[in-house]
């Protein structure tokens, strides 16, 4: 099969389209012919080994996981002898980040419990956008953020993959949504249901007098004290992404800054599971959640797709049409 492979850390130029052996499913695994995959910031972080701590997970000198790609959708090709829920011909999708990655390839293999059924009304491309970004948004708002109907939530970085899902899911949960993005992406975010859009190029939301029950920070840096100030009493700050400096600041200073304030800080949960994947797919099929895809690339275009995402220019999701 063809796969995008990297045997060293570095920029997208180190990625190569190569012929590699087809994976063989073990007793509890499912082999899937990949139709579509999507690109996430985690692919770039693994490729670049940035931050350096990535090397503790993926190999100090060389990457253990040489085929990137976590989000995939396709058709079951073969199953192991212990697989009972899926059979060849089933349409499925999954997040392979906890199953060895390997989505930027013509075939992917993972345990049966990684895969969720793809509804007939959801395209392979749309299904491939859901796992990482959709789960991060859903679990970040619902589980980490404890968002309730009628609460005011601000989503910082509302025009990216996670952010576009977060705006829609927050509205689905009944919240009043303020979205922060660039001026050029404001209209797109409004169409997703945002009640107010703030252009970060013209205004710093942390300097306004508005206060929020929940700040869901996907992208865009602000000092942690500024986030705290923008929260209402008993408000919550959920970090779902950002720069390495922002992540370390939140992890190291967060507990101290929020201590005894009544306000809370946490990181977005991200625990892919078939139940939540099925929920997201059902919302898409019902027309209550719309995956936004900015552009498509062929499998050979994965280096360009990752470069485009890393440059910060992408709106919503970038999809790889593997079976094109």
Asked whether residue 275 is assigned to any structural domain, the reply reads no
Containing 38, the helix (H) or strand (E) segment is strand 29-38
**Vertex 99, ends 2 and 21: CA angle to 5°?**
25
CATH number at residue 85: 3.90.180.10
Asked whether residue 280 is assigned to any structural domain, the reply reads no
Same domain as 93, residue 42: yes
What is the DSSP track for 171-203?
Answer: HHTT-EEEEEE-GGGHHHHHHTT-SEEEETTT-
pLDDT band at 314 (very low <50, low <70, confident <90, very high): confident
pTM confidence score? 0.93
**Total number of domains in the chain:** 2
Same domain as 258, residue 178: yes
**Structural tokens at position 79:** 């199953």
Q: Is 119 helix (H, G, I), strand (E, B) or coil?
A: coil
Contact between 248 and 181 (Cβ < 8 Å)? no
Same domain as 199, residue 96: no
Report whether pLDDT(77) > 80.
yes
Report whether pLDDT(56) > 90.
no
Same domain as 142, residue 240: yes
Ramachandran sector of residue 150 (left: φ over 0; alpha: ψ -120 to 50; beta: rest): left
The least confident of 31-35, 152-156, 191-195, 258-262 is 258-262
pLDDT band at 241 (very low <50, low <70, confident <90, very high): confident
**Structural tokens at position 313:** 């220019």
Q: What confidence tens digit (pLDDT) does each residue in 259-304 have?
A: 768 898 888 878 888 899 999 999 999 999 999 999 999 999 999 9
What is the DSSP track for 254-290?
Answer: HHHHTTTSS-EEEEPP----HHHHHHHHHHHHTTS--
Q: In what order do the strands lie in the sheet with 264-267?
A: 196-199, 176-181, 152-156, 212-217, 231-239, 264-267
Report whether pLDDT(311) > 90.
no
pLDDT band at 158 (very low <50, low <70, confident <90, very high): very high
| Percent of the chain as helix, strand, coil, to the nearest 5 | 35, 25, 40
Asked whether residue 282 is assigned to any structural domain, the reply reads no
Task: Please report the pLDDT score of residue 54 as a whole number.
Answer: 85
Report whether pLDDT(73) > 90.
yes
User: What contacts 282, CB < 8 A, 6 or more positions away?
Assistant: 119
- φ, ψ dihedrals at 47, nearest 5°: -65, -45
Residues paired with 215 in a beta bridge: 154, 237
**Structural tokens at position 274:** 């078939």
Distance CA 287, CA 45 (A): 33
Residue numbers of the domain that contains 303:
2-130+291-321
Report whether pLDDT(195) > 90.
yes
Q: Is 85 helix (H, G, I), strand (E, B) or coil?
A: coil
Contact between 236 and 215 (Cβ < 8 Å)? yes
Same domain as 40, residue 17: yes
Same domain as 136, residue 125: no
pLDDT band at 82 (very low <50, low <70, confident <90, very high): very high
Same domain as 144, residue 113: no
3 state SS for 122-145? CCHHHHHHCHHHHHHHHHHHHHHC
Distance CA 38, CA 296 (A): 9
pLDDT band at 324 (very low <50, low <70, confident <90, very high): confident
């Amino acid at each position: 099969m063809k796969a995008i492979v990297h045997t060293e850390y570095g920029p997208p130029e180190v990625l190569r389209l190569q012929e590699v052996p087809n994976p063989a499913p073990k007793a509890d695994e499912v082999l899937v012919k990949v139709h579509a995959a999507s690109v996430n910031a985690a692919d770039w972080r693994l490729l670049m080994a940035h931050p350096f701590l990535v090397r503790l997970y993926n190999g100090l000198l060389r990457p253990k996981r040489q085929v990137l790609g976590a989000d995939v959708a396709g058709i079951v090709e073969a199953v192991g002898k212990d697989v009972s829920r899926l059979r060849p011909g089933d349409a499925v999708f999954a997040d392979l980040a906890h199953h060895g990655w390997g989505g930027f390839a013509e075939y992917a293999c993972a345990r049966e419990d990684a895969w969720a059924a793809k509804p007939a009304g959801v395209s392979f491309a749309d299904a491939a956008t859901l796992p990482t970004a959709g789960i991060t948004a859903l679990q970040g708002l619902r589980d980490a953020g404890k968002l309730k109907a009628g609460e005011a939530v601000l989503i910082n970085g509302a025009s990216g993959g996670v952010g576009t899902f977060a705006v829609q899911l927050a509205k689905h949960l009944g919240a009043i949504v303020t979205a922060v993005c660039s001026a050029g992406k404001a209209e797109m975010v409004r169409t997703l249901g945002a009640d107010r859009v703030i252009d970060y190029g013209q205004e710093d939301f942390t300097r306004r007098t508005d206060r929020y029950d929940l700040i869901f920070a996907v992208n865009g840096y602000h000092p942690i004290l500024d986030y705290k100030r923008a929260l209402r009493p008993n408000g919550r700050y959920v970090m779902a992404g950002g720069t390495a400096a922002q992540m370390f600041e939140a992890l190291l200073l967060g507990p101290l800054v929020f201590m005894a304030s009544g306000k809370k800080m946490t990181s977005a949960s991200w625990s892919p599971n078939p139940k939540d994947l099925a929920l997201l797919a059902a919302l898409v099929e019902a027309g209550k959640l719309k995956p936004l895809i900015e552009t498509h690339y062929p499998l050979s275009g994965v280096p360009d797709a990752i470069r485009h995402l890393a440059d910060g220019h992408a709106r919503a999701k970038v999809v790889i049409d593997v079976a094109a």
